Amino acid sequence: MGSSALPLMLLLMSFIHAGLTQDLPSLTVTPDSPVFTGETVNLTCEIKPYYSDWKYEWYKDNTHSNVMLQSSDRYTINRDTLTIRGVITSDQDQYWCRGQRDEGTISSYSRPVSLTVEDSPRSSLTVTPDSPVFTGETVTLKCVIETYSDWRQRNGLRYDRTYDWTPEWRYEWYKDSVMLQTPDRYTVNRDTLTIRGVITSDQGQYWCRGQRDERPNSSQESNRIHLSVNASSSLLVTAVVVGSSVCLLTVN
């Protein structure tokens, strides 16, 4: 070995002694970005060579500061995977990872991955007739999901007229946070829920949302509507003698 190679060898040995790995970790995101509000996102950090004692560190934004992401209500860290549940717009940012081993090896930072978050389509719920309603009436609730063109415009996306919402939405209906089935008095016709012969137990808080087979898979939850049900007034009729005074009473 020539004398000129000696400094290079010493430099390499110093890197190895410092415990720095050579390959950048690989960071992937599932599903592909952009993601939509409400979705669950997984970021996976792959470090080579693989060791079972890697401890993974997760960073958000481009500061590389010492403030790492920690597990929380929406963030779960399970070794090489960071899971973000119920993504919101403030999750949009750049993410990094790196690893450390017990014996002191520290990997490089991964290349940044940009997570783009777009707002899911909005839903709105209306009820006819206005609440309160009365027992025996027919009530119609209508779920309106934002049009494809309005949704793309709101998210700053170019409008593709050949696409629209295909496949179409499947509507889900909820009362007091429990998904409604369709008993004899309930009829669901796509975006419309009809309750025939309303009874007092129909009183409650209703909301809706849409589901589909392609992303965005779900619309946002609609506004909540509280349906108040009052008992109908009934007319009490009794036989009277012709010429007598008559008093009509309503019984609630």
pLDDT of residue 185: 84
pLDDT of residue 171: 96
pLDDT of residue 161: 62
Residue given tokens 């409400």 in the structure block: 38
Query: Domain limits of the chain?
Result: 5-118, 123-235
Instruction: Identify the CA nearest to 43 among candidates 107, 111, 137, 103.
Output: 111
pLDDT of residue 125: 98
State the DSSP code for 161: T
Is 123-235 the same fold as 5-118?
yes
Interstrand relation of 117-118 and 35-36 (parallel, antiparallel or unpaired)? parallel
- Right CATH for 123-235 from 3.40.50.1220, 3.40.930.10, 3.40.50.460, 2.60.40.10: 2.60.40.10
Assigned token pair, 11:
């430099």
Q: Give how far the C-alpha of residue 5 lies from the chain's centroid of Cα atoms, to the nearest Å.
A: 58
CATH of domain 5-118: 2.60.40.10
pLDDT of residue 234: 61
Which residues of the chain carry a pLDDT beneath 50? 4, 6-18, 251
